[in-house]
A and B are shown apart, each in its own frame.
Chain A
Amino acid sequence: MATGTAADVVMPQMGVSVSEGTVTKWLKNPGDTVEADEPLLEISTDKVDTEVPSPGAGVLSEILVQEGETVEVGTLLARIGGEPGTAAPPPPKEEAPPEPATQPAADEASAAADEGVREAPPEPASPPARTPAGNSHDGDGHAFVSPVVARIAAEHGIDPSTVQGTGSGGRVTKKDILAFVESKATTPAPPEQPQPAPAENAPAPAPPPAAPTSQTPQAFGEGEQVEPMNAMRRGIAEHMRRSLDTAAHVTSAIEVDMSRVVAIREKLKGEYTKAYGVNPTYLAFVARAAVETLKDWPWVNGELRGESVVTRNYVNLGFAVALEGGKGLIVPVVKHAEGLNLLGMARGIADIAERARTKRLTPDDVQGGTFTITNPGSFGTFHGTPVISQPQAGILGTYAVVKRPWVVQDELGKDVIAIRPIMNLTLTYDHRIVDGAYAGQFLHDLREKLESWGESDY
């Protein structure tokens, strides 16, 4: 009869450079029965939000890290206890390999495959580590701040997320903030701030971020609402600033007559939707043509690495996906896009977009991009200057398809005005590696493909 601890749930390694994660939501309460692989909790890192499945069947006997707490990778989050009659007997202890004290991070990364769970380790994990700030905000950045705490915080110009909470779920209680106010009065040192998470794929150690976000607590005025940044927002803030500090951003734009694309899409839409359940979006057409164009202009798909220019024979195409409710932005990657036809591209985009919005992306999904497409056009915007995802060399912006009066030539070669669906495309490129002429030629060729390609070319 199985009793006691059947399996431990630990904070998974969500990428090589990720050292900590935030528990955003427990999907089960202590005492709840859980099935193996049933979603148990949601976590958030600066890379991804994801669900962690239960390592085994049994009863969630203990939650050790509350919602909103940020802990280091490997920290014990919860225990799944076996329940008499329902759970398998616990594995023999000797099967659990002792963990080397100094395990390289790379090894740990490979352990990410076990989805954040491992059988009862021989050494019980140390008490859950808290971030220096011990903040009580959850992954959505919505800390629960009680009315009285909000008022005291406003009166003293304190960011409540910088206060160690002792209440339910790590909530900052009135006593906590009053003690904080008192301690601040006696010790003038500012409270420790969480360090911005290190950047993924950084070619060189990132320069100290100049972000104003990690300064001493700001004073908040009347009418202002304050909420702490979540891990994703911190990551975005750091990355955007660093990109602008790194790359020499230049944006070129081009207008594309999408008549042929519209016609082909009309023709394929029904078939694709019916046969494959996939909608061939304009974005898929543009992505398909862009990948093809990148083959001829490899530096746009390249990278400046130290003193070298890196080009590739493959395209890992990132797509900027906005999360609902302005909760952030994530750039999942369609790997080896050079091998995908239109159907594969449409399917790949739909897949990552869906998984991004339902928090089912894996760390792999957001790494290794070589070029990015951002599509603010779905909101009707016709121009933009996006920020390059480092260490890439460019980002393609696609905008709304708008019917416009367009000068074309009739069959006699005379100019006439026609109504054409026009899409603006922008290429924002790093002028350190890509020059204006090169970028212009890339855009020119991309336009030619979109305007001249037939169905079989996609």
Chain B
Amino acid sequence: MPEKTYLQAISDGLRQEMRRDKRVFVIGEDVGVYGGAFKVTLGFQEEFGPWRVLDAPLSETAILGGATGAAIMGMRPVAEMQFADFISCGWDHLVTVAAKQRWRAGTPIPITVRLPSGGGFSGGPFHSQNPESSFAHIPGLKCVCPATPADAKGLLVSAIEDPNPVLFFEHKHLYRRIKGEVPDERYTTPIGEARLHREGDDLTVITWGAMVYTAAEAASKLDDVSVEIVDLRSVMPWDKEAVLTSVRKTSKVLVLHEDTRTGGFGAEIAATIAEEAFEDLDAPVKRIAAPDTPVPFSPALEAAFIPQVDDVVAGLRELAAY
């Protein structure tokens, strides 16, 4: 099986779907001639033509409004936000129209919104956010946050074929750093199904996106504690059973995410664990997340902002000692 980067896997999955299904088209800023800010759609316009790889004006409102209309008319748009942060401009189309369309009118609204998200490269407050919890809160939207190349491709395919709007959070820090085996043939990764990244007995880490790797590195530094890592993969819907199964096994849980703490999706997970697995807990559910501030530019401050391996090690040790 060929090894591919996270970015290549997204690109391959998208290309494969566009070859397979003529309803699938790409719209976004600089996705055509330039090949996308991160080169995910490099060469796409040559292959599929300017009408399936649309260079949009600098207006997320127009991109998401156009995608919403196209989806209602039976197309399968894949809209790219150059950075996930900019999705706020398109909030109204996404939240007011697209999220409610199927519930209100019963028509499918198969939009995929690709959202390059996350920090770790001094992108500052407008190019580093992880806004998944804002959209997970909106009934009618799905949110996926793949961590591995294989899941990135499989979840993108699932997102495109899903009849609902799916927000596909692709972590920029993983684009070229993470490589993995990715099947060439078409496959899907089910939305709402978690993946066990690492099996363990003593502690559970629930996380997703780039934090999966932070958790894994932290876990490998603890010789005496056996850490299980659940990669949620989908934040909405999320795999409650997988989480509760692991909680029942280890009884000590750390919820880890790169998004800010208050109202972050970890709060929902922690609350659900308290509600449904209270009698299986041997320690308070612990959260590690970014502090409630915008993402700082300064590398030193950003490192203090984004949960680091040492932070997770300390959190795990604290839980182990409890």
Residues facing A in B248-303 (CB within 8 A) are 251, 278-283
Pick from A166-174, A182-190, A209-217, A411-419 the stretch touching chain B.
A166-174
A174–B282 CB distance below 8 A: yes
B280–A147 CB distance below 8 A: yes
Residues facing B in A133-155 (CB within 8 A) are 146-151
Contacts of B321 in A (CB 8 A): 167-168
For the complex, give the distance between the alpha carbons of A171 and B321 in Å: 10
For the complex, give the distance between the alpha carbons of A399 and B322 in Å: 49
Task: Report the nearest A residue to B201, measured CB to CB.
Answer: A175
Task: Report the nearest B residue to A176, measured CB to CB.
Answer: B282
Min CB distance A318 to B, Å, is 43
Contacts of B280 in A (CB 8 A): 147-148, 151
Residues facing A in B299-322 (CB within 8 A) are 321-322
Min CB distance B81 to A, Å, is 42
Min CB distance A149 to B, Å, is 6
- Across chains A and B, the number of contacting residue pairs, with CB separation under 8 Å, is 27
Digitize A320-333: 1 where CB-to-B-CB distance is under 8 Å, 0 elsewhere. 00000000000000
B322–A147 CB distance below 8 A: no
Contacts of A146 in B (CB 8 A): 251, 281-283
Digitize B197-227: 1 where CB-to-A-CB distance is under 8 Å, 0 elsewhere. 0000000000000000000000000000000
For the complex, give the distance between the alpha carbons of A171 and B251 in Å: 15
For the complex, give the distance between the alpha carbons of A167 and B252 in Å: 12
Contacts of A148 in B (CB 8 A): 251, 279-282
For the complex, give the distance between the alpha carbons of A147 and B284 in Å: 10
For the complex, give the distance between the alpha carbons of A171 and B279 in Å: 16
Contacts of B279 in A (CB 8 A): 147-148, 150-151
Min CB distance A53 to B, Å, is 30
B251–A174 CB distance below 8 A: yes
Task: Report the nearest A residue to B280, measured CB to CB.
Answer: A148
For the complex, give the distance between the alpha carbons of A146 and B252 in Å: 11
Task: Report the nearest B residue to A172, measured CB to CB.
Answer: B282
For the complex, give the distance between the alpha carbons of A324 and B123 in Å: 58
Min CB distance B26 to A, Å, is 49
For the complex, give the distance between the alpha carbons of A149 and B282 in Å: 7
Task: Report the nearest A residue to B283, measured CB to CB.
Answer: A146
* Known A146-B281, A148-B281; contact A167-B322, beta-carbon cutoff 8 A: yes
Contacts of A174 in B (CB 8 A): 251, 282
Contacts of B278 in A (CB 8 A): 147
For the complex, give the distance between the alpha carbons of A361 and B117 in Å: 63
Contacts of A149 in B (CB 8 A): 282
Min CB distance A372 to B, Å, is 45
For the complex, give the distance between the alpha carbons of A150 and B278 in Å: 11
For the complex, give the distance between the alpha carbons of A146 and B247 in Å: 14
Task: Report the nearest B residue to A177, measured CB to CB.
Answer: B282
Task: Report the nearest B residue to A166, measured CB to CB.
Answer: B321
For the complex, give the distance between the alpha carbons of A173 and B250 in Å: 11
For the complex, give the distance between the alpha carbons of A147 and B285 in Å: 12
Digitize A325-355: 1 where CB-to-B-CB distance is under 8 Å, 0 elsewhere. 0000000000000000000000000000000
For the complex, give the distance between the alpha carbons of A147 and B251 in Å: 9
Contacts of A147 in B (CB 8 A): 278-282
Min CB distance B35 to A, Å, is 53
Digitize B165-195: 1 where CB-to-A-CB distance is under 8 Å, 0 elsewhere. 0000000000000000000000000000000
For the complex, give the distance between the alpha carbons of A167 and B281 in Å: 14
The one of A150, A151, A171 that contacts B322, using a Cβ cutoff of 8 Å = A171
Min CB distance B321 to A, Å, is 6
Contacts of B283 in A (CB 8 A): 146
Min CB distance A63 to B, Å, is 14
For the complex, give the distance between the alpha carbons of A171 and B319 in Å: 13
Min CB distance B38 to A, Å, is 45
* Known A148-B251, A174-B251; contact A168-B322, beta-carbon cutoff 8 A: yes
Min CB distance B227 to A, Å, is 15
For the complex, give the distance between the alpha carbons of A147 and B283 in Å: 8
Contacts of A173 in B (CB 8 A): 282, 322
For the complex, give the distance between the alpha carbons of A210 and B251 in Å: 40
Task: Report the nearest B residue to A149, measured CB to CB.
Answer: B282
Min CB distance B275 to A, Å, is 12
Contacts of A151 in B (CB 8 A): 279-280
For the complex, give the distance between the alpha carbons of A151 and B281 in Å: 10
Min CB distance A395 to B, Å, is 46
Scoring A168, A171, A173 by chain B CB atoms within 10 A of each residue's CB, the highest score goes to: A173
Min CB distance B175 to A, Å, is 40
Min CB distance B36 to A, Å, is 49
Residues facing B in A157-205 (CB within 8 A) are 167-168, 171, 173-174
Task: Report the nearest B residue to A145, measured CB to CB.
Answer: B282
Min CB distance B319 to A, Å, is 10
Task: Report the nearest A residue to B281, measured CB to CB.
Answer: A147
For the complex, give the distance between the alpha carbons of A146 and B321 in Å: 14
For the complex, give the distance between the alpha carbons of A106 and B278 in Å: 51
Scoring A148, A167, A168 by chain B CB atoms within 10 A of each residue's CB, the highest score goes to: A148
Min CB distance A172 to B, Å, is 9
Contacts of B282 in A (CB 8 A): 146-149, 173-174
For the complex, give the distance between the alpha carbons of A413 and B321 in Å: 82
Min CB distance B42 to A, Å, is 52
For the complex, give the distance between the alpha carbons of A67 and B259 in Å: 37
Residues facing A in B8-51 (CB within 8 A) are none
Min CB distance B151 to A, Å, is 31
Task: Report the nearest A residue to B274, measured CB to CB.
Answer: A147
Contacts of B322 in A (CB 8 A): 167-168, 171, 173
Residues facing B in A259-279 (CB within 8 A) are none
For the complex, give the distance between the alpha carbons of A71 and B132 in Å: 52
Task: Report the nearest B residue to A146, measured CB to CB.
Answer: B282
For the complex, give the distance between the alpha carbons of A146 and B283 in Å: 7
For the complex, give the distance between the alpha carbons of A149 and B278 in Å: 11
Min CB distance A29 to B, Å, is 15
For the complex, give the distance between the alpha carbons of A168 and B320 in Å: 9
Contacts of A171 in B (CB 8 A): 322
Closest 4 interchain pairs by CB? A174-B282, A151-B279, A146-B282, A148-B282
Q: List 24 A-B contacts (CB under 8 A).
A: A146-B251, A146-B281, A146-B282, A146-B283, A147-B279, A147-B280, A147-B281, A147-B282, A148-B251, A148-B279, A148-B280, A148-B281, A148-B282, A149-B282, A151-B280, A167-B321, A167-B322, A168-B321, A168-B322, A171-B322, A173-B282, A173-B322, A174-B251, A174-B282
Q: 14 additional contacts, CB 8 Å, given A148-B281, A148-B282?
A: A146-B251, A146-B282, A146-B283, A147-B279, A147-B281, A148-B279, A149-B282, A151-B279, A151-B280, A167-B322, A168-B322, A171-B322, A173-B282, A174-B282
| Chain A interfacial positions (CB closer than 8 Å to B) | 146-151, 167-168, 171, 173-174
